[in-house]
Amino acid sequence: MEQSFVLTEDMLWDYADGFLSPVEKAQVDDYLRQHPEQHARLDAIMAEKRNFSALALEHPDAGFADRVLAAWATEQGGKADLSAEKSRDWIAYGIGGLLAGFLFLLIVLIFASAPEATPMGIEPTDYIPSIPWAKIFSSPIARFGMPFALLFVGFRFLDQYLQQKKVLAQWQA
């Protein structure tokens, strides 16, 4: 097997690029161990690879990013104004979301418990429904589901708010 093994240039590149299977890699390692004079070929390839990796990136013109953002803002029908972003108040959105979630759950629970809350013998037209608070808050959905949902919404908005603060802080830095 030793005599039939020929270490080609392609094989050395594949070795350097990490394309060889473990078996093939072991073969090359063995061969190089037995023929240390061949190591120079691998060193040359590694040097070439380092040269490829060290190629410099091209630099776009100054203002390229601004032009991209302006084009994007134009496409969106607005004007690129990063400073205006500070006025967005995610806390307000968060509170709004919490209230909306709370109201939604309340309405769902009222409707869910309304048929049982209607007293017998009273005409529907004369009946003014009252909110069965005791019943609502005795249900497991209200006791566990609602706080969980509110916590989830609350954390989601808090997370958004913190992310936004980080983005702004890094952008300003």
How far apart are alpha carbons 118 and 131 in whole angstroms? Answer: 11
| The token pair that represents 120 in the structure block | 């017998």
Q: Is residue 166 part of the contact set for another protein (CB under 8 A)?
A: yes
Q: Is residue 10 part of the contact set for another protein (CB under 8 A)?
A: yes
For the segment 33-52, give every residue that binds another protein (CB under 8 A). Answer: 40-41, 44-45, 47-49, 51-52
Least Å distance between CB 41 and another protein? Answer: 7
Q: Which residue has the tokens 């093939």?
A: 24
How far apart are alpha carbons 165 and 58 in whole angstroms? Answer: 32
How far apart are alpha carbons 110 and 115 in whole angstroms? Answer: 9
- Per CB under 8 A, the list member of 20, 32, 73, 110 interacting with another protein is 73
| The token pair that represents 44 in the structure block | 């040359």
For residue 70, which amino acid is it?
Answer: A
Q: Is residue 113 part of the contact set for another protein (CB under 8 A)?
A: no
Contact stretch for another protein (CB under 8 A) within 7-15, 110-118, 124-132, 135-143? 7-15
Q: Is residue 11 part of the contact set for another protein (CB under 8 A)?
A: no
Residue closer to another protein (CB basis): 100 or 167: 167
**CB–CB of 84/96 below 8 Å?**
no
- Per CB under 8 A, the list member of 26, 60, 95, 133 interacting with another protein is 60
